[in-house]
Amino acid sequence: MELELHPFEHSSTTKLFEVRAEWHLTDDNVLHLHSTVTGPVHFLDYDRSSAPEAKDELWKKTCFEFFALKRNSTEYVEWNYSPGGDYQRYRFSAYRERLEGSPAPLATDAKIDWKITGESLDVRVAVPLPYEIQKIQICWVMKVKSDVPSYWALGHTSSKPDFHNVDAFHQCGA
């Protein structure tokens, strides 16, 4: 099912973009995500990496993020990917309570494919999940070079942008 992501706040910049995503979970618990940003993507700001590596603070520029909440638990995992190749994963025991050992290495556990053209930015991710999930959140931070970041998600339920708020996550099946 294709879903539309929504900006936290509408502005003259966010009106230039459209963001869509779809996802499915395989029987072997691999999460497949596909998201497309349509608009003047050549204005998006992100670091280009010749040797992609795990980095913190990818959200300060354009990045694709998703979160998976463990079934019947408060534990969740956050994945971040920059169009320039850098990445990160964090584990949390509850709302913004990072588990010891997080960030965790992820170079071997995910497959990612970026396609960037004049008017679209397309990402496909396949990642084995560490547990059965109950909810998912799919998000983008989009930083236009001459503007403040915009925060896009399936839903927003807080008074400020907060991708960690599980109340805004999308329910996964029964």
Per the structure, the complete domain to which residue 137 belongs is given by 2-171
Residue 107's pLDDT band, with cuts at 50, 70 and 90, is very low
- CA–CA separation, 29 vs 160, rounded Å? 32
- CA–CA separation, 42 vs 146, rounded Å? 12
Q: Which pTM was predicted?
A: 0.93
- What is the CATH number for 97? 2.60.40.1190
What integer pLDDT is reported at residue 108 of this predicted model? 52
For residues 142 and 62, the answer to whether their CB atoms sit within 8 Å is yes
Beta strands in the chain (DSSP E): 2-4, 6-7, 18-25, 30-38, 63-70, 76-81, 87-94, 97-98, 111-117, 120-128, 133-142, 150-153, 170-171
- CA–CA separation, 102 vs 24, rounded Å? 26
What integer pLDDT is reported at residue 52 of this predicted model? 87
The three-class DSSP label of residue 60 is helix
Listed range (74-78, 131-135, 143-147, 154-158) with the worst mean pLDDT: 143-147
The answer to whether residue 68 scores a pLDDT higher than 80 is yes
The answer to whether residue 72 scores a pLDDT higher than 90 is yes
Angle at 39 between CA 161 and CA 2, to 5 degrees: 70
| Number of domains making up the chain | 1
In the chain, the percentage of residues whose pLDDT exceeds 70 is 95
What integer pLDDT is reported at residue 100 of this predicted model? 76
Span 2-29, pLDDT tens digits: 899 999 999 999 999 999 999 999 999 9
The three-class DSSP label of residue 147 is coil
